[in-house]
């Protein structure tokens, strides 16, 4: 089965072919084009992307190292399933690191960074589909972390935000208004350089998001492996 909506690689694009394939497949996983449990076939993916199987295999190894896909003995590679255990770990890490980073962001943000956050909020207000909302949500949290001027913490939160996006798309539509209110309140706290309020709002926001995602995970049994295959076995 071909992946509907997966584009072919542009030969003139910047970056190595392996990196571009990895980024494209990661986006396909995050957007749901490659659903959890999907069985990945390197040769078929290479044909669809218009490239050789070597960069596809490199991309799959990289995605496996980063925890986006699982390898099963004698079967191959599968998109990793969402689980309640990973969700708990993810949001515990966010509470302990991201919210403190919001406090630093309030102390260190620049005027240009505030303008960037305002622009993200404008796009969030007009977005409708779950994929776009989840992408913009991750973009917002990454941008707030950048305001901390701490590259190590911002890099870690980028990783957490991309992983959270994998879960957030399931609840993005019904959380849109609440998320937008929370995000606006966070930006206003940053604007006032109120680090205590930024951290407080951040903790409440992350906690409520985690509860909604957990309910969605239980309701839809997202942790059950899917049976979908992408053109047969990966080898």
The answer to whether 107 and 184 have CB atoms below 8 angstroms apart is no
- Domain boundary residue, one of 79, 107, 122: 79
The answer to whether 132 and 90 have CB atoms below 8 angstroms apart is no
pTM: 0.80
Q: What does the pLDDT read at residue 152?
A: 97
Indicate whether 3 belongs to any domain. Answer: no
- Please, what sign has the CA dihedral across residues 176, 181, 185, 188? positive
**Do residue 117 and residue 31 come from a single domain?**
no
Number of structural domains, the chain?
2
The answer to whether 44 and 230 have CB atoms below 8 angstroms apart is yes
Indicate whether 200 belongs to any domain. Answer: yes
Query: d(Cα 95, Cα 139) in Å, to the nearest integer?
Result: 18
Q: Where are the alpha helices (DSSP H) in the chain?
A: 17-31, 42-49, 53-65, 84-108, 111-126, 130-146, 151-168, 172-191, 195-220
Indicate whether 9 belongs to any domain. Answer: no
Indicate whether 225 belongs to any domain. Answer: no
**Do residue 39 and residue 153 come from a single domain?**
no
Q: What does residue 138 show for φ and ψ, rounded to 5 degrees?
A: -65, -40
Backbone torsion region of residue 193, taken as left when φ is above 0, otherwise alpha when ψ lies between -120 and 50, otherwise beta: left
Q: What does the pLDDT read at residue 216?
A: 84
**Do residue 98 and residue 188 come from a single domain?**
yes
Q: What end-to-end distance do the CA atoms of the chain give, in Å?
A: 16
**Do residue 43 and residue 103 come from a single domain?**
no
Q: What does the pLDDT read at residue 120?
A: 98
Indicate whether 214 belongs to any domain. Answer: yes
DSSP 223: T
Domain region containing 210: 84-220
Buried b or exposed e, range 70-98, using 16+ CB within 10 angstroms: eeeeeebbbbbebeeebbeebbebbeeeb
pLDDT 10s digit of each residue in the chain, 235 long?
455 556 666 654 545 788 889 988 988 888 888 888 898 988 889 888 888 889 999 999 999 988 889 988 888 899 998 889 999 999 999 999 999 999 999 999 999 999 999 999 999 999 988 889 999 999 999 999 999 999 999 999 999 999 998 888 778 788 999 999 999 999 999 999 999 999 999 999 999 999 999 988 887 654 444 444 444 333 3
């Amino acid at each position: 089965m071909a992946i509907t909506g997966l584009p072919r690689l542009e030969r003139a694009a910047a970056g190595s072919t392996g990196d571009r394939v990895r980024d494209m497949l990661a986006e396909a996983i995050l957007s749901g084009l490659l659903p959890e449990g999907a069985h990945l076939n390197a040769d078929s993916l290479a044909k669809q992307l218009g490239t050789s199987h070597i960069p596809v295999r490199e991309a799959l190894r990289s995605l496996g190292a980063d925890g986006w896909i699982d390898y099963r003995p004698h079967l191959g590679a599968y998109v990793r399933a969402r689980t309640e255990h990973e969700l708990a770990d993810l949001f515990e890490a966010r509470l302990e690191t991201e919210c403190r980073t919001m406090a630093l962001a309030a102390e260190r943000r620049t005027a240009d960074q505030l303008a960037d956050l305002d622009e993200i909020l404008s796009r969030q207000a007009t977005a409708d589909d779950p994929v776009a909302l989840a992408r913009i949500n991750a973009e917002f949290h990454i941008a707030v972390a950048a305001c901390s001027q701490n590259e190590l913490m911002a890099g870690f939160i980028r990783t957490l935000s991309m992983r959270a996006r994998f879960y957030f798309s399931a609840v993005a539509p019904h959380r849109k208004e609440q998320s937008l209110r929370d995000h606006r309140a966070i930006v206003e706290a940053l604007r006032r350089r109120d680090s205590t309020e930024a951290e407080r709002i951040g903790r409440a926001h992350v906690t409520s998001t985690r509860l909604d995602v957990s309910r969605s995970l239980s309701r839809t049994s997202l942790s059950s492996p899917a049976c979908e295959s992408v053109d047969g076995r990966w080898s």
